[in-house]
Amino acid sequence: MPQEKPEHLNRSQIINQGSFYTPKKFVELAGGWIKEFMHDPSYVFLDSSCGYGAFLQLHDLFKENRFIGNDIDGRAISTAATIYPDISFFCQNALTQVSRDAFGISDNDLLIIIGNPPYNDTTSQSGQKIKRGNDIEIDNDIKSRDLGISFLNSYDKLKADYACILHPLSYLIKKANFKSASKFFNNYQIEKIIVFPSSEFANTSKIVSFPVIMALYRRHEGSGITFDKVKNIVFNTTDGCSFSTNCWDYVGDYIRKYPGNTRYDQEILFYTLRDVNALRRSRTFITERIANAIDVDPQMLAYYCYIDCFKKYANAPYYLGNFDIPFIKEEFPLVSELVMKISKHNHPEVFGDNDAPTDAEIESVIKYINKVTSLSL
């Protein structure tokens, strides 16, 4: 079996092509899922971003079905074609001139998409210095700032009957991402789903781990997933946890997360907010008015101080990485004064000199944050 590691690519190429290759255990799990729902030998299996062919191992389970592999990486395709001589291969950009005909698939063929499409959000801060957003040509009707979302939209354009794929959890839980992938989500429902950390992929040690899902989607044209329905999905992780987005309240629902034009008599500046993983990398309170500076409404200061404390004390599980900053609103008044005391003491450059919190006060805040990050179903 192939070693699913892009060792011939440097870090810049890995980031720009989104090349993270798939562990065998997820391929085996996908095979079990597909067997539950699909028993027709006339289905065509297509992996339009197959890399070395990890998902093409499914050919051993579905020997009577036709398999097609494609990737933009010529070296990977050459290796895969050697390993799987009975499979048809293409080496082309799967995101331009998207059609079934490009892969020799007829409009009447039953089609199941498999694979781990590349993902690379060109607007995210991680790896930003070596990301390039316009190097890969993409059809305008499926184009997104993230390669993976463009791939999802391409599956809808191909009118796949099923799609058993891996993608970041953020595509489902972040409203902007969900909207970008609406061509796909409008027409597909989830049959199976599992969450795991991106650290499962090879060569990701320099990247902060983020939640990835593998899901089996089934086409239901015009009656797919809505963003409101996502809130009720129970997500199970490979390590036995279960959660839904309804488990938490989110600070971002109550404060400004991005710069605006409103100014206040007391100038307090805070760095732009994205999600838990971005908070791990970024600053909180700042003194300089930069492009990413948020003007803090003094009446909402406690929320920003909570975020500052969350950054300092939270040991959040990986699956919260792409969530907005979570909290328990009903219990927040119990710690609101304490988080302000801690942040004001820790940021004299912003607030001047303030009394230090006691160990007991710090412990109370840590206890609250631990309760937040340990919530589950």
Residue 195: what are its φ and ψ, rounded to 5°? -115, 140
Residue-level pLDDT, tens digit, the chain, 377 residues: 344 444 544 333 433 343 446 889 999 999 999 999 988 899 999 999 999 999 999 999 999 999 999 999 999 999 999 999 999 999 999 999 999 999 999 999 999 999 999 987 544 444 433 234 457 899 999 999 999 999 999 999 999 999 999 999 999 999 999 999 999 999 999 999 999 999 998 665 556 899 999 999 999 999 999 999 999 999 999 999 999 999 999 999 999 999 999 999 999 999 999 999 999 999 999 999 999 999 999 999 999 999 999 999 999 999 999 999 999 999 999 999 999 999 999 999 999 999 999 999 999 999 999 999 999 98
Q: At what angle do helices 336-346 and 359-373 cross, to 10 degrees?
A: 110
pLDDT of residue 206: 59
**CA nearest neighbour of 168 among 191, 200, 143, 205:** 200
For the segment 117-175, what is each residue's pLDDT rounded down to a tens digit? 998 754 444 443 323 445 789 999 999 999 999 999 999 999 999 999 999 999 999 99
Relative to beta strand 293-295, strand 188-197 is: unpaired
Measured from the Cβ of residue 320, the count of other Cβ atoms closer than 10 Å reads 23
Listed in order, strand segments (DSSP E) in the chain are 44-47, 66-70, 88-90, 111-115, 162-168, 188-197, 211-219, 235-236, 242-243, 249-250, 269-271, 285-286, 293-295, 326-327
Write down the domain spans for the chain: 11-246, 249-373
Beta bridge partners of 218: 162, 189
**CA nearest neighbour of 290 among 271, 267, 308, 305:** 271
Residue 116 DSSP one-character state: -
Left, alpha or beta for 104 (phi > 0: left; psi -120 to 50: alpha)?
A: left
Residue 44: what are its φ and ψ, rounded to 5°? -100, 130
Residue 191: what are its φ and ψ, rounded to 5°? -100, -35
CA distance 170 to 319: 10
- Helices then strands, counting H and E runs in the chain, come out as 13, 14
CA distance 116 to 214: 9
**CA nearest neighbour of 103 among 90, 118, 87:** 90
- pTM for this prediction: 0.89
- For the chain, give the number of residues: 377
Q: Which residue has the tokens 């079934």?
A: 100
Show the tokens assigned to 169.
């959890």
Domain spanning 11-246, CATH architecture:
3-Layer(aba) Sandwich (3.40)
Buried b (16+ CB within 10 A) or exposed e, 101-128: ebbebeeeeebbbbbbbbbbbbebeebe
